């Protein structure tokens, strides 16, 4: 077999078989297929989209390119949730404990943030002592004891994706639905969770900017997971607006706690209830989505979700005192409205970039982030506003880019003199059998 023949075949739109995909990907990981041939293959995939069978084969070859985690030591039906990345997305910190409080086991492997999107591991760094570098055995022990644990990628998980993603980044081949689906699912399926819910973000702050593109990605991922014998479904959810009210690591931990104390923003609570209820149905703990929703909301009201988060933090070495007393930057400045009326639209991407400029996120993988800084959003689409009222509070430690940050936040809003409806958060549901637009 020769890489050049495989590239040629794909270039002409013929379907590759598993052995050919394996030859290319394994060869790329081991170094026998050079960067230039892997690049040509990726570009061919952008012009001759991978078929569902090719996408599933690529995912499986990538998934098994390194270590896999079998979760054998964990008792019960285990679930996971994956978000394609957003601004202010602290869902895992709220959802994981809530689902665990309802009796479903959550073994979650999370990542760090890059670019305008945040990562759960960075947020957990804001809790002193918290360890996320858990071994498989430690993870199993904590999950069995508490019902939920969140850790970072251990060992050599999906090395093919690490190499391929870096190459896609510099060859303009990131934004291809099948390649994204294979990249995400190879990592999710490397952990043997039985149930998986995908939160596919759509809109200005998301990877996929349109609802149809997001639905197509969700369908591809659900298809792959189902083919591999997992229970998988997806919700397509709004990312035109930042989620909840805070962006930035310590601020988001504080908001997660408030949400678990029953003082959460409506969009975040609704998202957790909708994702969580479906996980409960998958695991056989709820008879319907409606029943699941009630259980999740009850776990907020009775404090059992909060208790689970506290138990998880303690089990992972974190300090409860630090969890409840987040260190937030002492310097603040308000971004004031110059208009009377209603917020007509806002741009989550601008908020993500503004937070990154404050130091809350990283532009390159090596950058160190400032856990204390960020933005608290007071006015979102549909809210009424008066001139002089605060749209957002900026928490900062470095003032050098403050004016840029303020004008970026203000510039991301548009206003209307007449009333504007609040946009829905849940836009579509994708299962193995159907697509439903709400």
Using CB under 6 A as the criterion, which residues of the chain lie in contact with ligand URA when the complex forms?
174, 180, 183-184, 207
Query: Residue 325: which residues within 8 A CB-CB, separation 6 or more?
Result: none
Judged by CB, which is closer to ligand URA: 121, or 184?
Answer: 184
Judged by CB, which is closer to ligand URA: 184, or 371?
Answer: 184
Determine which one of 108, 187, 220, 230 is catalytic: 187
Determine which one of 89, 122, 161, 240 is catalytic: 161
* Alpha-carbon distances of 135 from 50, 155, 188, 329, 422, rounded to whole Å: 35, 9, 17, 33, 44
Determine which one of 10, 63, 82, 254 is catalytic: 82
* 187 in active site: yes
Judged by CB, which is closer to ligand URA: 91, or 246?
Answer: 91
* 168 in active site: yes
Task: Supply the minimum distance, in Å, between the C-beta of residue 160 and ligand URA.
Answer: 12
Residue 391 · residue 379 · CB < 8 Å: yes
Task: Supply the minimum distance, in Å, between the C-beta of residue 186 and ligand URA.
Answer: 9
Determine which one of 39, 183, 246, 412 is catalytic: 183
- Pick from 10, 1, 17, 67: which is nearest to 39 by CA? 10
What is the rounded CA–CA span in Å between residue 366 and residue 78? 33
Express the helix, strand and coil content of the chain in percent, nearest 5 each.
Answer: 45, 15, 40
* 12 in active site: no
Q: Find the residue with minimal CB distance to ligand URA.
A: 183
Q: What is the DSSP letter of 114?
A: B
Residue 29 · residue 163 · CB < 8 Å: yes
Judged by CB, which is closer to ligand URA: 142, or 222?
Answer: 222
- Pick from 93, 62, 303, 268: which is nearest to 178 by CA? 62
* Alpha-carbon distances of 350 from 222, 236, 239, rounded to whole Å: 30, 21, 12
DSSP per position, 178-212: HHHHHHHHHHHTTB--SEEEEEEEESTTSSB-SHH
Determine which one of 63, 116, 168, 254 is catalytic: 168
Task: Supply the minimum distance, in Å, between the C-beta of residue 423 and ligand URA.
Answer: 24
CA triplet 272, 275, 281: central angle to 5 degrees?
A: 125
Task: Supply the minimum distance, in Å, between the C-beta of residue 183 and ligand URA.
Answer: 3
What is the rounded CA–CA span in Å between residue 159 and residue 186? 10
Task: Supply the minimum distance, in Å, between the C-beta of residue 207 and ligand URA.
Answer: 6
Judged by CB, which is closer to ligand URA: 207, or 395?
Answer: 207
Task: Supply the minimum distance, in Å, between the C-beta of residue 169 and ligand URA.
Answer: 9
Task: Supply the minimum distance, in Å, between the C-beta of residue 165 and ligand URA.
Answer: 6
What is the rounded CA–CA span in Å between residue 256 and residue 50? 39
Q: What are phi and psi of 300, to 5 degrees?
A: -80, -50
Query: Per DSSP, what are the bridge partners of residue 426?
Result: 237
CB atoms within 10 A of CB 137: 9
E-strand spans in 239-313? 246-247
Judged by CB, which is closer to ligand URA: 180, or 349?
Answer: 180
Judged by CB, which is closer to ligand URA: 35, or 270?
Answer: 35
CB atoms within 10 A of CB 26: 16
Judged by CB, which is closer to ligand URA: 117, or 350?
Answer: 117
Task: Supply the minimum distance, in Å, between the C-beta of residue 266 and ligand URA.
Answer: 28
Q: What are phi and psi of 217, to 5 degrees?
A: -65, -45
| Residue in the structure block whose two tokens are 């009201």 | 301
Positions annotated as catalytic residues are 82, 161, 168, 183, 187
């Amino acid at each position: 077999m020769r890489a050049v023949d495989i590239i040629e075949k794909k270039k002409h739109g013929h379907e590759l078989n598993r052995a050919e995909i394996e030859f290319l990907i394994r060869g790329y990981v081991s170094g026998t297929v050079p960067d230039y041939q892997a690049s040509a293959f990726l570009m061919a995939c952008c012009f001759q989209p991978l078929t569902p069978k090719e996408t599933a084969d690529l995912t499986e070859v990538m998934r098994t390119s390194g270590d896999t985690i079998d979760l054998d030591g964990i008792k019960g039906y285990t679930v996971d949730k994956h978000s394609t990345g957003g601004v202010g997305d602290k869902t895992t910190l709220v959802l994981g404990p809530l689902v665990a409080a309802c009796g479903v086991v959550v073994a979650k492997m999370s990542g760090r943030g890059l670019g305008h999107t945040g990562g759960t591991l960075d947020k957990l760094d804001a809790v002193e002592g918290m360890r996320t570098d858990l071994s498989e055995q430690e993870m199993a022990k904590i999950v069995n004891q508490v019902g939920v644990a969140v850790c970072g990628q251990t060992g050599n998980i999906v090395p093919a994706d690490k190499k391929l993603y870096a190459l896609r980044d510099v060859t303009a081949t990131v934004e291809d639905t099948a390649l994204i689906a294979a990249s995400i699912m190879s990592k999710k399926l490397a952990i043997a969770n039985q149930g998986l819910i995908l939160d596919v973000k759509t809109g200005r702050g998301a990877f996929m900017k349109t609802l149809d593109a997001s639905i197509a990605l969700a369908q591809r991922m659900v298809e792959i997971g189902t083919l591999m014998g997992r229970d998988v479904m997806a919700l397509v959810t709004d990312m035109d607006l930042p989620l909840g009210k805070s962006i930035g690591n310590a601020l988001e931990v504080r908001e997660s706690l408030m949400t678990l104390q029953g003082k959460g923003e409506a969009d975040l609570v609704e998202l957790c209830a909708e994702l969580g209820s479906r996980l409960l149905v998958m695991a056989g703990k709820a008879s319907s989505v409606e029943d699941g929703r009630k259980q999740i909301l009850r776990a907020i009201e009775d404090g059992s979700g909060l208790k689970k988060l506290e138990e998880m933090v303690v089990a992972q070495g974190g300090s409860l005192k630090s969890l409840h007393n987040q260190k937030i930057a002492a310097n603040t400045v308000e971004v004031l409205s110059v208009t009377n009326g209603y917020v007509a639209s806002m741009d989550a991407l601008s908020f993500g970039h503004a937070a990154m400029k404050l130091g809350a996120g990283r532009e390159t993988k090596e950058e160190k982030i400032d856990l204390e800084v960020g933005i608290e959003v007071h006015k979102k689409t549909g809210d009424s506003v008066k001139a002089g009222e605060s749209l957002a509070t900026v928490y900062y430690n470095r003032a050098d880019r403050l004016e840029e940050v303020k004008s970026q936040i203000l510039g991301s809003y548009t206003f209307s003199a007449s009333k504007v409806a609040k946009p829905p958060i849940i836009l579509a549901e994708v299962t193995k059998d159907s697509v439903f637009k709400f």
